[in-house]
Structure formats: structure tokens, C-alpha cells
Amino acid sequence: MILPRERLLELFQAYPRDRRYALPLLQDIQKQCGYLPKEHIIEAAGYLGVPLSRIYAMATYYRSFSLEPRGKYVIKVCDGTACHIKDSKNVLETLKGLLCVGVGGMDKDGLFSVETVNCLGACALAPVMMIGEEYFGKLTEESITEILEGFRKREAVVAGI
């Protein structure tokens, strides 16, 4: 989602024009849009008076930033040591079967996108994944299907269907 210009300028106004505010500014954009649209990165560099190459470097360095559009719900599948041993690969396979997307991809409804992370810090629940801010542990093929169904139902309620 690309923000209208006025809304973007509003975001910028929260910070002085200085390179040290580049990170919080990018975080704000990411929060509003779900990703960092190219146009916004260029505008941000211009506003802060920082070379575009630096902002681009920063945006590609941090894993929490994405230059590609992401789904409404970002599924973070843990691939840390414990989850890896507990077959996190199978979690990814199951998600791939259900959503038809691999790691880094977004499903065709724009509802879910799938990422891997190195550790979610909940190894006792391995294999574990996060959807948005919610944790889901001890995953099985059945539970993953249920969880995704739950989110779909929630969306349907929101949409008033």
C-alpha cells in the first residue's frame, strides 16, 4: 500500500531532517505500508538529506524491512536449532501446500506472507511460528491448517461476510 503524499509528509514531520532519524522513519513507513515502497525510500532520502544509496543500504541490511509488498499477516516460521531438529522444514512444506507460497512469498489474496527467522526464543514450543504478534507452538500439519482457517474466518468476520 503506497501512502498518499500528505500522509507521507506527516510521517516525515515527526522527525528533524537528520541522518540519525533514518531508521525510525523507515520503521514508521514499514509499519504503515507493511513494506518499504521504492517511492517512499526515495522521498525519505530526500527529506533527510542523506544519499539514497545509504538509505537503500540500511533498508536492505535489516531483516525486519522488506522491499517487497507483504501480506496482511506475516508468518514467521522459526528455523532455529530446536525447531530445525523438530522439523521446521515440514512446517514450511505444509504452509507451501496450503498457501502455494515459498519462503519470502505472499499468497494470491495478499493475506499471508511467509518468512523464516533464526530463532523466536520459544524453543520449548518447537516447532514454532508467529503470525503477526501471536505465537503458535508444537505445530503439526493439522494444527497449521486449523490456525490458517481461524485467521481466514477472522478476516471474513471483519469483512462482514
| Chain contacts with other proteins (rule: CB under 8 A) | 38, 41, 51-57, 60-61, 63
Residue 38: CB minimum distance to other proteins, A: 6
Could you give the angle at the alpha carbon of 156 between the alpha carbons of 155 and 159, nearest 5°?
A: 85
- Shortest distance, position 160 Cβ to other proteins, whole Å: 39
AA identity, residue 39: E
Question: How near is the Cβ of 105 to other proteins at its closest, in Å?
Answer: 17
Strand order, beta sheet including 129-131: 112-117, 73-78, 129-131, 134-136
Q: Is the dihedral of CA 103, 59, 82, 145 positive or negative?
A: negative
| Closest approach of other proteins to the CB of residue 57, in Å | 4
- Of residues 24 and 51, the one with the C-beta less far from other proteins: 51
Q: Judged by CB, which is closer to other proteins: 1, or 61?
A: 61
Q: How far is the CB of 54 from other proteins (least distance, A)?
A: 6
Which residues are within 8 A (CB) of 152 and not within 5 positions of it... i.e. 6 or more apart? 111
Q: Are 73 and 111 in contact (CB under 8 A)?
A: yes
CA distance 62 to 120: 16
Q: For residues 7 and 54, which CB has a smaller minimum distance to other proteins in the complex?
A: 54
- Nearest CB to other proteins, comparing residues 55 and 99: 55
Of residues 50 and 144, the one with the C-beta less far from other proteins: 50
Give one DSSP letter per residue of 99-111, joined into a string: HS--TT-B-TTSS
